[in-house]
Amino acid sequence: MKKLFFTALLICGIIHANAQNDAQIRIGTKNTDLIFKVGKDNRLYQAYLGSKLAGEQGSIKIPGQGHIAYATFGTDNLFEPAIRVTHNDGNPSLELQYVSSQTEKKDDNVTITHIKLKDPMYPVEVTLNFKAYFNENVLEQWVEILHQEKKPVTVSNYASAMLHFDAAKYWLTQYHGDWAEEMKMQESELTSGIKIIDSKLGARAHIYQTPVFMLALNAKASENNGELIAGTLGWSGNFQFVFEIDEKNSLRVISGINPFASEYNLEPGKAFVTPSFIFTYSNEGKGLASRNLHSWGVKYGILDGDKPRLTLLNNWETTYFDFDEAKLKGLMTDTKTLGVDMFLLDDGWFANKYPRNGDNAGLGDWQENKAKLPNGIGHLVKEADATGVKFGIWIEPEMVNPKSELYEQHPEWVLKLPNRPEHYYRNQLVLDLTNPQVQDFIYKLVDDMLTKNPGIAFFKWDCNSMITNGYSVFLKNQQSHLYVDYVKSLYKVLDRIRAKYPHLPMMLCSGGGGRVDYGALRYFTEFWASDNTDPVERVYIQWGYSNFFPAISVCNHITSWGKQPLKFRTDVAMMGKMGYDIHVSGLTANELKFTQDAVKNYNRIRDVIWHGDLFRLVSPYDENRAVLMYVNSSKSNAILFSYTLNTRFG
Ligand code: DGJ
């Protein structure tokens, strides 16, 4: 009874189909409105997206019908659909009519709206869901597809969001790259027809294109001026953004999982839930859009986004695979000497039959390598504790080297095609996460390590291969589910890990920044932006990420890359979550003193960087310099970083 009453209180508005004609559904934040209308044909239309309109719901008059909110394929839509369904009788069309809309107020800041649509002839229901974050001016959109047909239906397109714009011109900024060159910005005017930004890589899916974009309306937006949306898909796999300008110069933007090679056969009664498309609208330029996403990210998008982070010394670049207990003990002492919180042991600590002494063997065999670590991880945790630092460790649980015991014992756990040679990326293959046994294996790896060594304070979770030879023994005749189910299965494992270890800090890494998105960041406290730590290059890479992700989530390490002095390297790393990966013993006395002071300095100012507002003042894309400023919320403290970059090309 009590529960019923509570539910009734939270549901603050239901609009039913019988109130349909001209009914408006308003999804609003402090400064933005997204308004839908139910047309006389009982279809749902996007009537408005932009700055907040004056007036209460109902009193706002929006001229015209707008654009079909979630376009289907097969009836009268002539452009790219948001959804395409083939019914169990072979009918390849879908018609969606408005049924009802329901709004729940979660708390003072968050409101969720569900708009239910239904095919009048077939028992297929599509619910468009919107979460409005009032103060952050962020909207999150996802879709649920459900049917009660007798047999499975095939869903070939299943967008998370479809948005429409009517402007004179459209300017798209995309963020592309490669290993060590992540997040390069490119801005271009959209022309008529279709532009697609996507990934088909399966895992490490964002190494060439990150699932983020900015779209400016009418004219290019600057940091402080211009109308735009900044959007991103919370999905750690194949994604697709479609930008289509029609004959009337209207633009539709369709965002979601990449439907490429991914037709989904949906069982009756089983919901297909898309990932979230997250976006913000700004009419004060890109800077405000980024600040909106930062405040949202810290509060809602990233695990423990509002909690402190650990500074660290990592051994990857100082030792690579070549270390033993004595070396690591020395590095722990260095960690203490620098004054950072944690020593992070990277790749190379495991495997015995095929020891992990290079990237060509051992991946998948998660037993301590007896030659390097005769006393096991437990001993290292104790050593770290005795030295007065925390201990973190690297894993890459989704992947396997063919030269490993795991591969020998479970070839059926590996994604690879029958009757074809194997293709490797970094000498490795991807495990079939759709197989529950593999999910258990990964969960158990993490759980066993933490159960045996509760002192482990941090994981770096790497993922270095794309899906090559994508074929799952487990999925049998449902191979087209692989790309979707891989990511959903990864999230299942992470859900289990987070149920038991809700706050253990974990770094999301994928051969540099090959997997950076808000779907994964629900489980991770931070991400490794790039293996490129040359500070000049890093200014550009971090600039790119800063458009969508808050500084607290971006791990930056001071290393020996580049020709810049230590001060330059340190400053660049400070613009995020600072760490080290250097030979401490190679520092001069002055450099060591400088570094120790820098760590203290960072601890003093980091709150402004982590939780302040970012103002990008001079872009390295416009000049041979970059200037960025972080300002705390009360505007009493600001930190300004200014770099000269004209040494970039000699
Ligand atoms: C790729 C990561 O980006 C690096 O930081 C390092 O962890 C290596 N993998 C280890 O193999």
List active site positions.
462, 531
CB of residue 509 inside a 6 A radius of ligand 1 = yes
**Between the CA of residue 182 and those of 271, 450, 508, what are the distances in Å?**
35, 32, 15
User: Residue 446 C-alpha to ligand 1 middle, in angstroms?
Assistant: 18
Instruction: Specify the pLDDT at position 26.
Output: 96
* Start-end of H helices in 475-565: 482-500, 535-546
All structural domains of the chain = 8-301 (2.70.98.60), 319-504 (3.20.20.70)
Whether 528 lines ligand 1, by a CB cut-off of 6 Å, is yes
Q: Is residue 393 within 8 Å of 459, Cβ to Cβ?
A: yes
Output the CA–CA distances (angstroms, integers) from residue 99 to 44, 235, 371, in the order listed: 10, 29, 66
Confidence of residue 64 (pLDDT cuts 50, 70, 90): confident
Does the CB atom of residue 348 touch ligand 1 within 6 A? no
Give CA–CA dist 462/301, Å, rounded. 20
Residue 218 near residue 175, CB atoms below 8 Å: no
202 CA from centroid of ligand 1 (Å): 19
| Chain mean pLDDT for the chain | 95
Distance CA 242, CA 162 (A): 9
Task: Give distance in angstroms: CA of 346 to centre of ligand 1.
Answer: 7
Tokens at residue 234, please?
A: 């919370």
Percent of the chain with pLDDT over 70: 96
pLDDT band for 56, please (50, 70, 90 cuts). confident
Does the pLDDT at position 90 exceed 60?
A: yes
Counting from 1 in the atom list of ligand 1, the atom nearest the Cα of 531 is 3
| d(C-alpha 128, C-alpha 118), whole Å | 11
Give the nearest ligand 1 atom to 512 CA: 3
Q: Which of 317, 318, 394 to mutate to test the pocket of ligand 1 (most atoms within 8 A of CB)?
A: 394
> Among residues 188, 128, 235, 196, which one has the least CA distance to residue 490?
235
Q: What is the pLDDT of residues 475-491, one digit of tens each?
A: 999 999 999 999 999 99
By CB atoms closer than 10 A (0-12, 13-18, 19+), residue 304 is middle
Task: Give the tens place of pLDDT for each residue, 269-279.
Answer: 999 999 999 99
Instruction: Report the candidate in 595, 549, 566 with the shortest Cα–Cα distance to residue 313.
Output: 595
Q: What is the pLDDT of residues 481-527, one digit of tens each?
A: 999 999 999 999 999 999 999 999 999 999 999 999 999 999 999 99
How far apart are the C-alpha atoms of 163 and 143, rounded to whole Å? 13
Q: Which residues contact 388 (CB under 8 A, 6 or more apart)?
A: 336
Indicate which atom in ligand 1 lies nearest the CA of residue 394. Answer: 7
> SS3 for 362?
coil
Residue 2 pLDDT level (bands cut at 50, 70, 90): very low
Query: Encoding tokens for residue 115?
Result: 């708009």
| Residue 320 CA to ligand 1 centre (angstroms) | 9
Q: CA angle, 214 as apex, 210 and 218 as ends, to 5°? A: 155
Strands (E), 452-576: 456-461, 506-508, 526-528, 554-558
DSSP string, 103-151: EEE-SSSEEEEEEEEE-SSSSEEEEEEEEEETTTTEEEEEEEEEE--SS
Mean pLDDT of 605-632: 98
- What's residue 44's pLDDT? 98
Cα 114 from chain centroid (whole Å): 24
User: Per 3-state DSSP, what percentage of the chain is helix, strand, and coil (rounded to 5)?
Assistant: 25, 35, 45
Q: How far apart are CA 151 and CA 88, in angstroms?
A: 6
Q: Is the CB of 512 under 6 A from ligand 1?
A: yes
Using CB atoms within 10 Å of the CB of residue 492, give its burial: 0 to 12 exposed, 13 to 18 middle, 19+ buried: middle
Q: Kindly state the average pLDDT of the residues 447-463.
A: 98
Report d(CA 174, CA 169) in Å as an integer. Answer: 16
Q: Quick one: which of 583, 588, 559, 600 has its CA closest to 330? A: 583
Q: Length of the chain in residues, anyone?
A: 650
Q: Tell me, what amino acid is at 90? A: G
Output 59 or 140, whichever has higher pLDDT: 140
Q: What is the mean pLDDT of residues 397-417?
A: 98
Q: Residue 320 and residue 297: Cα distance in Å, rounded?
A: 33
Give the residue whose CA is nearest to atom 2 of ligand 1: 511
- The mean per-residue pLDDT over the stretch 383-395 comes to 98
**Ligand 1 pocket residue status of 316, Cβ below 6 Å:** yes
Is residue 15 very low, low, confident or very high in pLDDT (cuts 50, 70, 90)? low
| Closest atom of ligand 1 relative to the 346 alpha carbon | 7
CA distance from start to end of the chain: 73
Distance 347 CA to ligand 1 centre (A): 7
Q: Which pTM was predicted?
A: 0.96
346 lines ligand 1 (CB under 6 A): yes
CB of residue 182 inside a 6 A radius of ligand 1: no
Ligand 1 atom showing the smallest separation from residue 510 Cα: 3
Rounded CA separation 529/541 (Å) = 8
Handedness of CA 591, 597, 598, 599 (dihedral sign): positive
Per-residue pLDDT tens over the stretch 558-571? 999 999 999 999 99
Side chain identity at residue 95, one-letter code: E
Ligand 1 neighbour 511 (Cβ under 6 A)? yes
DSSP annotation of 285: H
Nearest CA to ligand 1 atom 10: 347
* Eight-state DSSP code of residue 590: H
Beta strands in 17-57 (DSSP E): 24-28, 32-38, 44-51
Closest CA to 265 of 488, 478, 489: 478
HSE value, Cβ hemisphere, 13 Å, CA-based, for 62: 28
- What is the SS3 assignment for 557? strand
* pLDDT attached to residue 57: 67
CA of residue 491 to ligand 1 center, whole Å: 21
For the stretch 189-247, pLDDT in tens is 999 999 999 999 999 999 999 999 999 999 999 999 999 999 999 999 999 999 999 99
